[in-house]
Structure 1
Amino acid sequence: MGPAPGLRRLGGRRAGAGRAYPLAKRGFDLVGAGLLLVPLALAALALLALNPWLNRGRLFFVQERMGRHGRPFRAWKFRTMAAAPIERGAFDPLDRHRITPLGQLLRRARVDELPQALNVLKGEMSLIGPRPDYYPHALVYADTVPGYRDRHAVKPGISGLAQTELGYADGPDGIRAKVQADLLYVRTASLALDLRIARKTLAVILHRQGA
């Protein structure tokens, strides 16, 4: 697919310029995503048994999100909310009343993000990078939040600097703070930074501090 309508294609110097970092990052992504396939399969089997009683509905939630250079792609997650059309506005708070009890547990342990290992293997995402936003919301942010377009110079990630430093962000102030953290990542990306974010993400998961 081409760049998103109304979004210029990002150019110039990419994060981690040079040949070593992009190759090392892709290798890190492939190894990490490959290792995640085992817990992904185990979680899927467990949820197939639990969902009919605790989280009735589809196993997966698939949503169009904005990827690198503004291109849309389909991101996969384990479903954590009661099924309903998305009515939340771009700057509205998360509609937590729709999160099921089992879904809340999945979110706290970040288990809901495991299916995005498939997006990483396909090359649509990275393990570490700016979190991709719901595509219609991303178009609003691109027109209203300074710097938002530039965070798409790199692939989106399952986890990122904004998530480990700020946690879940919503509302105008939260989105602006998230963008600043994402831009810092884009400017300073390195394998060492990726590994540090990965370690902090694991610490968040172990302490069940997800959204």
Structure 2
Amino acid sequence: MTLIPDFGSIQKEAVPALAETRAQSFAYLFAKRAFDLGFCTIMLLPAMLVVLIALLVLNPIYNPGPLFFRQKRMGRHCKPFRALKFRTMVGNPTGRRGPDDPLEMHRITPLGRFLRLTRFDELPQILNVYLGEMSLIGPRPDYFAHAHHYIHAIPDYRHRYSVRPGISGLAQIQLGYAEGIEATRRKTTADIDYIRNASMALDMWIFWRTMVTVWRMRGT
């Protein structure tokens, strides 16, 4: 059985400061937070409610089980939080998946596949945005136990958590879903580049690319 390192010890050494970047500037953080709250309220909250109503009807037929899925993820400063999504998979009988294991595609239900292609399954994470645990744009948060593994296996991985994690991010639109240690190394490099070059212009470009992915139904 894999032992998870003590959370307190991880936090003590977590997130050494990057060189001063625009990601830490007050003006950028204020504009980013204002955009997060405004877009979530005006656009994504109504969309989530429409999908929620549809799933209340469709879930019992095509995706029996709980409507929501909550998972412990690693957040800013390596603190844990519970990310909320619409459930897309049947339960895992083993109760665990290793950090280098492939995505268990056979567990995705037909309705869940549609939710993932359209990224509708991500909509409940706007509640995490409201709580200040996530942003619309930023490094995607990993499952907490897997993140502990990557912190020790990948140099600079913990730097990803110097900012709020995002529903979408630079690594996600450039590399797609990351499976295994090598893909996570590439994801880490892209996310560090994002943090070092953070700006509202970059955020808007990532946001646009994410919307194109949604429209073309190219989610994972």
**TM-score bracket for the superposition, by shorter chain length:** over 0.9
User: Does the CA contact (< 8 Å) of 1:161 and 1:197 recur in 2?
Assistant: yes
Contact 2:16 2:159 in 1 (8 A): no
* Separation in 1, partners of 2:65, 2:218: 25
CA shift, 1:6, in A, is: 2.9
Residue deviations 1:112-150 (CA, integer Å, cap 9, x gap):
000000000110000000000110111001111111101
- Tell me what 2:118 maps to: 109
**Cross-structure match for 2:9:** 6
Tell me by how many angstroms 1:15 deviates.
4.5
Aligned to 2:203: 194
For the residue of structure 2 that corresponds to 1:112, the secondary structure is helix
Q: Normalising by the residue count of structure 2, what TM-score does the alignment of the two structures yield?
A: 0.91
- Report if the CA contact (8 A) 1:67-1:155 is conserved: yes
Q: Does 1:208 align with 2:217?
A: yes
| Pairing 1:60-209 to 2, within 5 Å after superposition | 60-84=68-92, 85-209=94-218
Question: Counterpart of 2:3?
Answer: none
Contact in 2 for aligned 1:16/1:189 (Cα 8 Å): yes
**Which whole-Å CA distance do the structure 1 matches of 2:151 and 2:112 have between them?**
30
Runs of 5+ in structure 1 lacking a partner? none
* Closer, same or farther: CA 15–64 of 1 in aligned 2, 3 Å: farther
Q: Helix, strand or coil for the counterpart of 1:64?
A: strand
Structure 1 runs of 4+ with >4 Å offset: none
Q: Deviations over 1:10-41 (max 9, x none)?
A: 35335423221010001011112212110101
Which one has the bigger helix percentage? 2
Q: Output the CA distance in 1 between the equivalents of 2:197 and 2:173.
A: 16
Distance 1:32 1:14, change over 3 A: same
The residue aligned with 2:32 is 25
Identity across the alignment (%): 51
Q: TM-score scaled to structure 1, two decimals? A: 0.95
Counterpart of 1:16?
Answer: 23
Equivalent residues of 1:15, 1:154 under 8 A apart: no
Is the CA contact (8 Å cut-off) linking 1:4 and 1:72 kept in structure 2?
no
Q: Distance in 1 between matches of 2:7 and 2:39?
A: 29
Alignment length (residue pairs): 209
Q: 1:155 to 1:14 in 2, by over 3 A?
A: farther
Separation (CA, whole Å) in 2 of partners of 1:121 and 1:82: 28
Aligned to 1:37: 45
Q: CA RMSD in A?
A: 1.4
